[in-house]
Chain A
């Protein structure tokens, strides 16, 4: 493999994740408008549905990939000192992974309790 960061792969992932994010947001807006769970228990039951769980986990994965490519682009554009760039990239990477793990925990706990 080449020594440089990816160009095509990052670009393609950003586009593919955008499609999923767009479709999911339309579905979610529709669901919340016409068939929103009314109680906390109803919410938990809704999230515990395997289809919904997978959909949500995919959503967060796509969101984090999309955000990662986006923030990487911003940092490559504007932050030129190499140590500052590496530091900021690491900070965002750790933050994004933490967000993903936290979200997975929330979704799985809902499934366990239901």
Chain B
């Protein structure tokens, strides 16, 4: 199977280029396996990967124009030749390794942790099964970055717009019955940038390898904000 892989080593190369590799496909081969085979052929090639089963979110790449996880994508599903590029819009450190600092900054900005103001109970803070169900489809995010780096609004304003990943997590804590900082969280999201750069383009929904729906979560935040303002 023919692969064209984005190669760029800032120490040596003046410009990035696509390099061709031929990989023999084995049964059940995932894209991550193919990238490891390419690494065996060419040791200078760099890419991130870790768990190999879609849990750690390290090996998100752009393949034939779509963001996906290398470890959960069978090569048999890909159209030849396979063009493998780094996640779009992020500064390239080397080959498929990109700088995700802004992505993490946006995540940090939504305070992705429970804020509980009452004195903490002796044991755990209880939650009804119904309230717990509200977190389904939110907590599963593995922060691979497929959504935010596919979002045009995040491409144009990655320093100011939170992006789908961080906003999904913002809603995850707004929706949590144990969180007591709803007003502060909503106030922090006001203004034209952090939340409202989302124009419901829905690339995030299309590319999320966990089939989560950040657009829906963003809609819920807007709805809650409206409720709290009138």
B224 to chain A, nearest CB (A): 11
For chain A, give the interface size range: 10 to 19
Residues on B close to A: CB < 8 A? 152-153, 156-157, 189-197, 199, 222, 225-226, 229
Residues of B near A73 (CB, < 8 A) are 192, 199
Residues of B near A8 (CB, < 8 A) are 190, 196, 222, 225-226, 229
Residues 1-13 of chain A: 1 if any B CB is under 8 Å from the residue's CB, otherwise 0? Answer: 0101111101110
B156 & A78 in contact (Cβ 8 Å cutoff):
yes
A7 & B226 in contact (Cβ 8 Å cutoff):
no
Contact of A77 with B by CB under 8 A: yes
Of the candidates A2, A12, A72, A78, the one whose C-beta lies within 8 Å of that of B190 is A2
Residue of B at shortest CB range from A79? B156
Residues of A near B229 (CB, < 8 A) are 8
B156 & A7 in contact (Cβ 8 Å cutoff):
no
Contact of A76 with B by CB under 8 A: yes
B192 & A10 in contact (Cβ 8 Å cutoff):
yes
Residues 47-77 of chain A: 1 if any B CB is under 8 Å from the residue's CB, otherwise 0? Answer: 0000000000000000000000000110011
Residue of B at shortest CB range from A70? B199
Residues of B near A4 (CB, < 8 A) are 190-193
B226 & A12 in contact (Cβ 8 Å cutoff):
yes
Q: How many A-B residue pairs have CB under 8 A?
A: 42
Q: How far is the CA of A2 from the CA of B192 in the complex (A)?
A: 12
B157 & A11 in contact (Cβ 8 Å cutoff):
no
26 A-B contact pairs sorted by A residue (CB < 8 Å): A2-B190, A2-B191, A4-B191, A4-B192, A4-B193, A5-B192, A6-B191, A6-B192, A7-B189, A7-B190, A7-B193, A7-B195, A8-B190, A8-B196, A8-B222, A8-B225, A8-B226, A8-B229, A10-B192, A11-B222, A72-B192, A73-B199, A76-B157, A76-B193, A77-B157, A77-B197
Residues of B near A7 (CB, < 8 A) are 189-196
Residue of A at shortest CB range from B199? A73
B185 to chain A, nearest CB (A): 14
Residues of A near B190 (CB, < 8 A) are 2, 4, 7-8
A68 to chain B, nearest CB (A): 13
B195 & A77 in contact (Cβ 8 Å cutoff):
no
A77 & B191 in contact (Cβ 8 Å cutoff):
no
Residues of B near A6 (CB, < 8 A) are 191-192
Residues 29-49 of chain A: 1 if any B CB is under 8 Å from the residue's CB, otherwise 0? Answer: 000000000000000000000
Q: How far is the CA of A78 from the CA of B156 in the complex (A)?
A: 7
Within 8 A of B (CB), among A65-105: 72-73, 76-78
Residues of A near B194 (CB, < 8 A) are 7
Residues of A near B192 (CB, < 8 A) are 4-7, 10, 72-73, 76
Residue of A at shortest CB range from B195? A7
Residues of A near B226 (CB, < 8 A) are 8, 12
